């Protein structure tokens, strides 16, 4: 058995090729062969022998992904273009390429923010069900036909899978085969699922969440399901629990809504407090490095100008400020999520650092509005 990929990158200055070939040997071990170089010249080569199938496929997929999603993205080509011939019996459609293509097309459904008054209406509306809005980072967790458990963020960029989550994913694959879940990563070892994508994404939300509930019941301990309320009484209880336990908020999904990329006007999120992504531009230390504050600037959506919105000094864990200070020194501002009560007098009131956002760029921030003491959007 062989699987191989032939890639090429060409522009006005470059014409480069790359080959990755995966082969199963007679003794059951696997070999991974790679070749790279300028098209028309002799390629450099590298070969790893005696690998397990899992290690070989991981190396093969990783190499292909790096080439196809890098700053100079390669595309598939015929082997003859690079001076190679396809191996006898090799798969023409590579699983490694399918993985990259699958990640490229995924764009998560996003939720439109709503005020308290609207949240109370949706609690009573039978057309909607509710789920806890977790205080984590959006993550897609999935496994294809090869059984490898993978994760990516909202941009489709691959994320490391924590060991505990990977073990649960492998156990889930052993039970049901291919799976694809949307949810959030909480801390270092927990994945909380709130949607399922391995059934038809055009299926209504109530069918998808019912599938997820059935999956959680049939695989106890394997899937951490985001708290979900389907009835009016259950939604009211969930809202009360959110207030009492200080949750980040709730998500309200219309039962008949299909899964679609981008922000959905029919699927909403209600936050118990305000949150904004800012850029931290300067760290002021007081005493030990763990104590101090960071200056915040916010990208105003009206004129696309960065504006100072105060300093944040709470919420930092040990080592956070040291890491932020080092990043600012090396490469400039660090994007981070910050909670606050309201915006007043050119500053966020009682800001609290939540997390660094490495999955975002400044171009992603030009739509955020700040909320004042009266709950209205602020115009500066």
DSSP 12-67: SS-EEEEEEEEEE-TTS-EEEEEEEEETTSPPEEEEEEEE-HHHHHHHHHHHHHHH
State residue 125's pLDDT score.
96
State residue 210's pLDDT score.
94
DSSP 100-128: HHHHHH---EEEEE--HHHHHHHHH-TTE
State residue 67's pLDDT score.
84
Q: Which residue has the tokens 């930092």?
A: 316
State residue 201's pLDDT score.
74
Delimit the domains of the chain by residue range. 2-94, 109-271, 274-365
Q: Helix and strand tally (H, E) in the chain? A: 7, 24
90 torsion bin: left (phi>0), alpha (psi -120 to 50), beta (else): beta
8 Å CB contact between 311 and 349: no
State residue 272's pLDDT score.
78
State residue 122's pLDDT score.
95
State residue 338's pLDDT score.
93
8 Å CB contact between 68 and 97: yes
Given 2.20.140.10, 2.60.120.260, 3.40.50.2300, 3.40.710.10, which CATH number is that of 2-94?
A: 2.20.140.10
- CA 53 from chain center: how many Å? 27
State residue 375's pLDDT score.
63
What fold, for 274-365?
Answer: OB fold (Dihydrolipoamide Acetyltransferase, E2P) (2.40.50)
State residue 208's pLDDT score.
94
Nearest to 67 by CA among 141, 7, 148: 7
State residue 255's pLDDT score.
95
State residue 164's pLDDT score.
82
Strand order in the sheet with 274-285: 305-312, 292-300, 274-285, 334-340, 352-356
State residue 162's pLDDT score.
80
CA distances (Å), origin 318, targets 187, 215, 289, 314, 322: 15, 38, 9, 12, 8
- CA 216 from chain center: how many Å? 22
The pTM for the full model equals 0.56
State residue 138's pLDDT score.
84
Rounded to whole angstroms, the maximal C-alpha distance in the chain is 73
What fold, for 109-271?
Answer: D-amino Acid Aminotransferase; Chain A, domain 1 (3.30.470)
pLDDT along the chain (380 residues), means of 10: 83 85 86 90 88 89 82 82 73 56 62 85 96 86 87 77 84 87 80 87 90 84 84 94 84 92 82 88 71 90 90 88 89 90 86 89 84 65
State residue 144's pLDDT score.
85
């Amino acid at each position: 058995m062989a699987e191989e990929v032939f890639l090429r990158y060409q522009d006005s200055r470059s014409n480069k090729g790359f080959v990755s070939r995966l082969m199963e040997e007679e003794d059951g071990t696997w070999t991974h062969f790679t070749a790279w170089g300028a098209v028309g010249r002799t390629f450099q080569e590298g070969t790893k022998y005696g690998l397990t199938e899992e290690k070989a496929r991981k190396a093969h997929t990783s190499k292909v992904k790096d080439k196809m999603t890098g700053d100079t993205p390669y595309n598939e080509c015929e082997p003859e273009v690079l001076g190679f011939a396809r191996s006898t019996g090799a798969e023409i459609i590579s699983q490694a390429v399918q993985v990259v293509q699958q990640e490229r097309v995924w764009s998560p459904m996003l939720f439109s923010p709503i005020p308290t008054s609207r949240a109370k209406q949706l609690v009573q509306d039978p057309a909607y069900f509710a789920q806890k809005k977790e205080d984590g980072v959006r993550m897609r967790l999935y496994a294809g036909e090869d059984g490898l458990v993978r994760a990516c963020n909202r941009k489709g960029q691959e994320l490391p899978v924590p060991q505990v989550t990977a073990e649960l994913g492998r156990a889930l694959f052993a039970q049901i085969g291919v799976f694809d879940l949307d949810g959030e990563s909480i801390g270092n070892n927990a994945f909380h699922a709130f949607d399922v994508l391995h059934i038809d994404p055009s299926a209504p939300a109530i069918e998808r969440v019912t599938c997820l509930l059935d999956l959680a019941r049939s695989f106890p301990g394997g899937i951490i399901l985001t708290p979900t309320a389907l009835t009016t009484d259950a939604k009211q209880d969930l809202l009360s629990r959110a207030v009492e336990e200080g949750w980040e908020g709730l998500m309200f999904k219309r039962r008949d809504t299909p899964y679609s990329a981008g922000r959905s006007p029919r699927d909403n999120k209600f936050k118990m407090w305000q949150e904004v992504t800012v850029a931290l531009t300067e760290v002021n230390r007081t005493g030990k490095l763990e104590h101090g504050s960071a200056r915040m600037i916010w990208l105003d959506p009206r004129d696309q100008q960065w504006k100072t919105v105060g300093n944040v000094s709470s919420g930092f864990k040990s080592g956070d400020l040291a890491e932020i200070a080092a990043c600012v020194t090396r490469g400039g501002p660090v994007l981070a999520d910050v909670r606050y009560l309201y915006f007043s007098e050119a500053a966020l009131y009682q800001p609290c650092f939540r997390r660094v956002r490495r999955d975002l760029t400044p171009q992603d921030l030009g739509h955020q509005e700040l909320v004042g003491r009266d709950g209205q959007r602020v115009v500066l």
